[in-house]
Each structure stands twice: as C-alpha cells, then as structure tokens.
Structure 1
Amino acid sequence: MASSFAVCGLHLRGRGSLVKCLQKVETSLHRSIGTNVVAAQTEATRKDEGDEKEKDGHKSLYALQAERQEQAERSVLISCHSRTNEKKFLKYLSRHGEIKKHFFYESYGTYAVVEFANQESVASLLEGAAIPSISHECTVPFKSRLLSLSNLGSGDSPNQKSGLQCQPQTTVPINELIQRLSREESIDQQITFLTEAYQLTEENSRLRFLVCSLLKDIAAAYFPECIIKPFGSSVNGFGKLGCDLDMFLDLDGISGRNVKMPKSGLSLEYQMKRANSERSVTQSILSVIGECVDQFGPGCVGVQKILNARCPLVRFAHQPSGFQCDLTANNRVAMKSTELLYLYGELDPRVRCLVFTVRCWARAHGVTSSIPGAWITNFSLTVMVLFFLQRRSPPIIPTLDQLRDLAGPADKSVIEGNDCTFVSDLSKIQLSSNTETLERLLCEFFEFYATFTFSRRSINIRKGKEQNKPEVAPLHIQNPFETSLNVSKNVNATQLDRFVALCQESAWLLQQSETNTPKGHREGNTPTPWGLATILLPLHVAGVKISKKRRREPASDRIKGLLESLKNKNQQKVS
C-alpha cells in the first residue's frame, strides 16, 4: 500500500454529515450493482489463464476467490419467518429475475441466501424494497443487500411447522460426534467422517463471501474499487463450521497505481493526503470503516477498533450470519500463508483429513482455545502437521523451499522484504508416492511429537527438517515467510508438557484399538467408543491417567513397543 491515501469525511459530525455519508454508501452500492465486478476480475487476472484450472480439476485459490466473489455480488441476504412458504418466497423473488441458487439457515432467526443469475436482478429487487415504516427521526436510511421479508407468511397457519430445510452452520456436539465415529468400521473411515462433518460446506463458504461483499459495499463509499475478501480458515481448506471470519481490505487493485507516467509533457495525479507511515494509513482507514460499520452496518454489533495491535484490526459480530469477524487492511503475509495452506491441502487429501482430526483432538482436550493465551494456536498446530508430513519417508508434501524453486516469474512475491515466492500451478508439483494410511499417519503423528526434542530443536516447514532453536522458548515454530518470527512464542512450558503427554497417551489408545474391534455399533444400542472416538474422550473417561512421571519421559517403553509392533504389522500387510 502506498504511503498516501484519500479519505472523504473522516469525522461524522451532525445530521448533515450523516446524510452525506449515507448517500455516499448508497451511491457506492448502486455503482457496485450496476457494473461488473471489477475487483473480482482484477484478482482473477493476476495469474495466467493456465494457472486458473489445475490438474485433476483442482482450482487455484485465485480462481476460487474470483468465482465466490462474483457469486456474492449477485446475492442478497434476507431475514424471513421460520414458517415462510418456500414456493411463495421463490415465486415472489423470481419476478426480479432468474434465481440461480438459494438456501436457508438459522442464526439469530431464519435467513435465506439468494443468488440471482445476474446483477440486474439484484438492482430490481432493491428498487422495489421499502424503507421500514418507523419514525423517520429514529431510522438510519442505510440501504444494503441485507433485507427483511414481510407479510408472505401471514396466510400460513400459526401452528404450521417450518417446512424450510436449514443448512447447518455449526459442527455437531462432541458427544454426538463420538457416537457417530464409534459406528464406523475403521479408523480411516472415522477420520474421513470427522473431516466431512467438520469442514466448511458449500453454503457456509458462500455465506462468508457474501458477508465480505456486504461489508465491501460500505468500504466502497470511500474506496470505490476496493475488495474485501476472506483469508485464513475461511478459504484455506482447513476451516471448520463455526470458525471466525478473517477479512482483508485490499486496496492494491485500485486503478491508477501502475499508470506509466510520460517522460515529458503534461500529466495528472490525484491529490491525496499523506500520513507519517503505512501503519498510520492503515489505522486511519480502519478507524473510518469501523465507525461506518458500527453506525450503519445492519446486524453488526460489538464493534471494537483494535488499532494499536501488531496488525491493526476492526472486530465485530455479524448477527445475521453468526460470524465473529476481524477486518484488517495490511496483512499481506497472512494472505500468502492462506494460499500456501490451500495449496498443501489440494496436493493430497490426507493433508486436510489429518489436520481436521488433530485440530478436533486438540480442541477436545483444551490444547487449543478460542480465548487468547498460552495455548497452541490452530495455525501452529497445522504447521506441526505439515512438518510431520514432510518428514515421512517418502515425504507426502514438499518443503516450502522446493515449492519456491518450482515458481515461475508470475509467482514472484516479496512482501516487506520477506520472500513469499512459491509455485501456484499444481501441475508443476510431483505427487508423492507415499501410500500410508490415515490410521498409521495419525498414530505416528502422536509418536513423532511425543518424542520430539522441543528443548533443542525448531520446526521449520521451509526446510522440512529440525533446526537448532534460535531463541529460548518452550516451543519454536518458524513463521514460513517472516522467518525471524516464532509463531508459537505465546506457548509456555506447562502447555507444551501437556501437549506431549497427550500425544503419548493418544498414541497408546490408538494402539489398543488394533486389538479391540468395534462392538455394538450394528445394534440400536449406544456404541462403545473405539479408535478415534477414544482419543476425543476425556482421558479419565477413556481409562487413562496422565501421571507426572510419564509426563517427564520422552516416551514410555510401552508406547515404543506398541508402535514398533504396528510398524511390523503394516510392513507385513504391504509385503
């Protein structure tokens, strides 16, 4: 981002300023609807056409984002009654144009996401919408694509049950998950089921991009060509239902940045205010956008402007979607991390399955937490899984340095002096010949970290091998791009010791499942937990007690013996 910017109306004072600001937002909304999605097109053309579709039908992250953003621009979010007649609802909306897709879900009430075939239909729908019949003085005349449905359900019986099929937006409770896992026939099937039950659905992904698009309509009042797009778990393939929505306000695509100035003669430049630093620019932009979201954003509550953090952000809850949202404006390294994790997940299906399983296990035992503290974060845990997969023989995924060596000129990326270059075309990456089962990988993941020398060694997915710790910290995981940073610096010795002990006991429990076949899952009775289900239970329920003595041991002889027997057994199966 350049160290200059233009902001109109930084201070909202008086009713006149309020009306002017709302008019700006409304103008930007209609501009967005009446034209093609310039921002999405800009993002989509950043890569060559050959990079848009990867081999075996895999899409690049750029192609996925462009598709989702374009869908979001043609969509509206409607609050409706739980007894709404779906046929009447669709018939009414179809008057404005063809409906391409729709679905219902429950948050703070019942909502519908409706995607039209073209943007003209959205403009027609908004043109026919009415301002609520409330006192003019207490209504903020802000127009957006978040609407409320009235009267259509009035002819239905008050006692009529909802006939709407609502798409789930959260994961199943852990107790229900354990029961379902216990009915599966193998640990591999358990891991696959857990992944399918926890990963973001098609509908939830569309909703996340729609929320970003709704927020973009507000930001576009000041920056008409901006993009707001999700990053992190919402798009990297490792997000579970209910995860937070991290959003990035991207101003790099605004036209005029790369205009070639003539060597001589007349030329024009925009007059812009300047700030002391890029950080100051980011803080000012987020302050204004945060104020607009707080004052005018329908359904946006609990707005916090956390501008003095290492990465300034605006945090709020979006009640219509149920998402906890974080908006940043200068976090490009995080965008590259998102792309990298997405690429790893696309390379081999076992990557996502193992990450989902380990994350679920970690949350079940309090290794991770949604509350900031000394816990291991989901990102750190994901990097640990990737590192383990790089250490297999043969490796299941390549190192970041290997991906950098495969990169072409279009992949070149240097952000704030950090080399963030890696290949984006999956067809250039040779797939692994490793055929290990998910069961074996999960068991050996726990054994790998139960015996890892955290006291001396650092985890590094750029090199794919252990390195000496560059600093004194219980757990050191090198940031893949900002290599001087430790992404697990917050983790204390107590939490690390607990993680190691849980790895030891979970490895042992999985070994026990080799000799304990699932029982009772064919009958209607509650199945007996086994396999993956046992390591998701509290360890005292599973019949295991973590002793202080064994917590200090790198790994017990019992675990080593059982793991060795499993290796021999698997080798016999292969031969």
Structure 2
Amino acid sequence: MNSLVRRSAQQLSLWRTYCVKHNAPEAASPGRNAGRPNYEEFIAGHQRHAQCSIVVQSYAELYNYCSSFGSIMGAHHYCVRQDETLHYILLEYATSDEAATAIGAGVTNGELSGVPVRSPFLWFRAAGGGRRGPKLVANTAPALLSLDGTRQVDQGHLLGLLRGAADIEEQVQQLHEHTRLNELGIRMRFLAALQVQQAIAGMFPAAQAQPFGSSVNGFGRMGCDLDLILRFDSDMGAKSPLEAAVPSRLVYHTKENLSNGRSQTQRHMECFGDMLHLFLPGVCHVRRILQARVPIIKYHHEHLDLEVDLSMSNL
C-alpha cells in the first residue's frame, strides 16, 4: 500500500482508539448513535437476514423462478473472480420459511461425483433440464441493490480522493467511507456462519456459529477475513414460556471425555475440519492450525470469495 494510504490508515486507527478511550463525542454521542442497534440486536438482525437468504449463480430468469417460492425483498450482485466470469446473486426472502422452501426445491446433479449437501448455495441451470420446476409468474425483476459489492476500492482512485482532501480529518473520513465493510459484505459473512451452523445442527441443535471481531464491530474493511466461533453453551431446553417456567426434567446424555480440555478441543476441531473439507459446498483450502494457543481452522469460501478463521474459543 502506498505510504499515504498507510499513514491515513494509521491516523484512522489512532482516532478510533482515542474516541473509545476517552469516550469522545465522535464515538459516543447519543445523537449520532440514536436509532442504531446494539451488538446483540445487530447479530440477531443479520442472523435473520441470513436465514432468509440464498445465493444463486445467474439472474435473468432467476428472479421470476425464485419468486414462485415467496416474496423476494432484495437482490445483491457480486463477483468472486478478477476476470468477472463467475457471478452470484444473493436473494433475500421475506421469511426464513420461504427461503427454506426455495432450498428444499433444489435437486442434486447426478453428473457430478461427491455427496449431495443441502445448503443455501445453489446454481441455476437452463430451462428444460431435469425435474419440472414451478410455474413461472410474470414479475419484473428489480434493479440489483449492490454491484461489485465485495470488491475493494482501486488504490489509484483512493489515493486521488485522499490527495484531494482538505485536511487529515477529511482524509480519515474518506478512507473510512471508501474502504469499510459494506452491507453486502456483512450479509455474506453471516451466510458463511449459517452454513457451518446448519451443517452440524442435526447432532448439535443448540450450536451457534457467531461472527466476531472486525466483521461485526464496525472496524471491518472490504476484503477482511471472517472470524467465527462455534459455541455449544446455549440452552437446548425450554422452547416456550410455559416450558421456561417449568424446566424439563429430561436431560440429554453426554459422552464423557477423559482427555484435558485443550486436547478435547483439538480433536473436535480436527473432526469439524474434516467435515468442512469433505462436505460443505464452496469450502476449500482447509488448514488445521491445532497447536496454536487458540486452535483454529482456516479455509477459503470460493462462493463468497472469503477467508474464514473458525475456532471454538476466542480467548
């Protein structure tokens, strides 16, 4: 990165640190934050968006076809290769049930080897092939909400903006506005988390794959990796107010592990790494770094053009 961009990035980091440390108005003004969700609301909201979303290659006939499964609230376009030959559309339905219906209507491709996996990542084949689909409806596809939503800003363009700024404060603002993680980037990260969570939901119904770090704290930049933590400490018991008032007396049996906590975590992570490598669509280049202070699994998601670090502890 050019030295001017690097210096501006350092200034931005120092400015944010100062605001947090000193509770400066720029960081903590009630007026500035009015109406903004807190951390728990932000996480819950984007988890709902992910549960209502699917990712499909193609668009022209796609909208009318997918509209037969429910109301499409938004469509976001992005590319994952520099040559722009691989295009994806993130479709968001009004409800998670509608998204589940669309996913459930998917079929497997008998021409390909491998174990079929049900997931929100699909591709749209030409009409006339395989099983007959639902009757198309005469809808007009809306304009795509985000073009090139995952692409980082061109460095030459960014340098021109910074050189044209009146002072360092404007440079910091310009740098932040043009490099921060956009809404589509956040949605894609929560979809990656949902894919992992759904993959293990059959055996671990209370497990949660939660993004943390720069992807959700507002400091994320376009192209940053995703930090995920697998949590198994949620209550699998009460599902209704009545059940909450009277806790269940039925408790799941759990297989006892005689190894120490760290060794147990490493073995669990190794198993999850095998699952990611062998079965999850889009996951490639899986690397297990189990001897680190915090054991992690690193992988690349080719459908999202995203680097992911998965752990079972963020300490």
TM range (shorter): 0.7 to 0.9
2:289 and 2:296 in contact (8 A); partners too: yes
Could you tell me which amino acid in structure 2 is paired with residue 197 of structure 1?
H
Q: Deviations over 1:417-439 (max 9, x none)?
A: xxxxxxxxxxxxxxxxxxxxxxx
Q: 5 Å matches for 1:310-389?
A: 310-331=293-314, 333=315
1:301 and 1:319 in contact (8 A); partners too: yes
Q: Is 1:59 the counterpart of 2:37 in the alignment?
A: yes
2:21 match: none
Tell me, in whole angstroms, the C-alpha distance in 2 between the residues paired with 1:297 and 1:129. Answer: 16
2:62 match: 89
Could you tell me which amino acid in structure 2 is paired with residue 325 of structure 1?
V
Q: Deviations over 1:139-159 (max 9, x none)?
A: 32222111001126xxxxxxx
1:312 and 1:328 in contact (8 A); partners too: yes
1:508 match: none
Could you tell me which amino acid in structure 1 is paired with residue 71 of structure 2?
E
CA drift of 1:62 comes to: 0.9
2:284 match: 301
1:167 and 1:203 in contact (8 A); partners too: no
1:305 and 1:314 in contact (8 A); partners too: yes
CA drift of 1:127 comes to: 2.7
Q: Which has the higher strand share?
A: 2
Tell me, in whole angstroms, the C-alpha distance in 1 between the residues paired with 2:192 and 2:250. Answer: 39
Q: Deviations over 1:437-477 (max 9, x none)?
A: xxxxxxxxxxxxxxxxxxxxxxxxxxxxxxxxxxxxxxxxx
Tell me, in whole angstroms, the C-alpha distance in 2 between the residues paired with 1:313 and 1:227. Answer: 16
CA drift of 1:269 comes to: 5.1
Tell me, in whole angstroms, the C-alpha distance in 2 between the residues paired with 1:254 and 1:199. Answer: 35
Q: 5 Å matches for 1:12-411?
A: 56-80=34-58, 84-85=59-60, 88-108=61-81, 109-134=86-111, 138-151=113-126, 166-255=147-236, 268=251, 270-331=253-314, 333=315
CA drift of 1:268 comes to: 4.8
Judged with a 3 Å threshold, the aligned counterparts in structure 2 of structure 1 residues 133 and 179 are, in CA distance, closer, same or farther, namely same
Q: Which has the higher helix share?
A: 1
Tell me, in whole angstroms, the C-alpha distance in 1 between the residues paired with 2:285 and 2:308. Answer: 10
1:216 and 1:227 in contact (8 A); partners too: yes
1:226 and 1:254 in contact (8 A); partners too: no
Tell me, in whole angstroms, the C-alpha distance in 1 between the residues paired with 2:262 and 2:276. Answer: 21
Judged with a 3 Å threshold, the aligned counterparts in structure 2 of structure 1 residues 268 and 168 are, in CA distance, closer, same or farther, namely closer
Q: Aligned residue pairs: how many?
A: 258
Tell me, in whole angstroms, the C-alpha distance in 1 between the residues paired with 2:251 and 2:121. Answer: 39
2:16 match: none
Judged with a 3 Å threshold, the aligned counterparts in structure 2 of structure 1 residues 102 and 275 are, in CA distance, closer, same or farther, namely farther
Tell me, in whole angstroms, the C-alpha distance in 2 between the residues paired with 1:183 and 1:206. Answer: 32
CA drift of 1:113 comes to: 0.9
2:80 and 2:304 in contact (8 A); partners too: yes
Could you tell me which amino acid in structure 2 is paired with residue 211 of structure 1?
A
1:48 match: none
Name the SS of the counterpart of 1:77 in structure 2. Answer: strand
TM-score by length of 2: 0.75
CA drift of 1:256 comes to: 5.1
TM-score by length of 1: 0.42
Name the SS of the counterpart of 1:314 in structure 2. Answer: strand
Judged with a 3 Å threshold, the aligned counterparts in structure 2 of structure 1 residues 113 and 275 are, in CA distance, closer, same or farther, namely farther
Tell me, in whole angstroms, the C-alpha distance in 2 between the residues paired with 1:275 and 1:304. Answer: 26
Judged with a 3 Å threshold, the aligned counterparts in structure 2 of structure 1 residues 268 and 238 are, in CA distance, closer, same or farther, namely closer
Q: 5 Å matches for 1:423-434?
A: none
Could you tell me which amino acid in structure 1 is paired with residue 51 of structure 2?
E
Q: 5 Å matches for 1:532-571?
A: none
Tell me, in whole angstroms, the C-alpha distance in 1 between the residues paired with 2:176 and 2:311. Answer: 29
CA drift of 1:241 comes to: 0.3
Name the SS of the counterpart of 2:303 in structure 1. Answer: coil
1:8 match: none
Could you tell me which amino acid in structure 1 is paired with residue 89 of structure 2?
A
Tell me, in whole angstroms, the C-alpha distance in 2 between the residues paired with 1:181 and 1:116. Answer: 39
Could you tell me which amino acid in structure 2 is paired with residue 129 of structure 1?
G
* RMSD (CA atoms): 2.6
Could you tell me which amino acid in structure 2 is paired with residue 93 of structure 1?
C
Could you tell me which amino acid in structure 1 is paired with residue 308 of structure 2?
C
Name the SS of the counterpart of 2:34 in structure 1. Answer: helix
Judged with a 3 Å threshold, the aligned counterparts in structure 2 of structure 1 residues 127 and 55 are, in CA distance, closer, same or farther, namely closer
CA drift of 1:171 comes to: 2.2
Judged with a 3 Å threshold, the aligned counterparts in structure 2 of structure 1 residues 256 and 97 are, in CA distance, closer, same or farther, namely closer
CA drift of 1:186 comes to: 3.6
CA drift of 1:232 comes to: 0.9
Could you tell me which amino acid in structure 1 is paired with residue 63 of structure 2?
L
Could you tell me which amino acid in structure 1 is paired with residue 66 of structure 2?
L
Name the SS of the counterpart of 1:63 in structure 2. Answer: helix
Judged with a 3 Å threshold, the aligned counterparts in structure 2 of structure 1 residues 185 and 215 are, in CA distance, closer, same or farther, namely same
Judged with a 3 Å threshold, the aligned counterparts in structure 2 of structure 1 residues 186 and 311 are, in CA distance, closer, same or farther, namely same
CA drift of 1:188 comes to: 2.5
Name the SS of the counterpart of 2:297 in structure 1. Answer: strand
Could you tell me which amino acid in structure 2 is paired with residue 286 of structure 1?
M
Tell me, in whole angstroms, the C-alpha distance in 1 between the residues paired with 2:125 and 2:292. Answer: 43
Tell me, in whole angstroms, the C-alpha distance in 1 between the residues paired with 2:126 and 2:220. Answer: 37
1:433 match: none
The unaligned stretches of length 5 or more in structure 1 are 1-53, 153-162, 334-575
CA drift of 1:91 comes to: 1.6
CA drift of 1:238 comes to: 0.8
Tell me, in whole angstroms, the C-alpha distance in 2 between the residues paired with 1:130 and 1:95. Answer: 16
Q: Deviations over 1:228-283 (max 9, x none)?
A: 011111111111000011101011114259x99x9xxx875514232322222322
CA drift of 1:104 comes to: 0.6
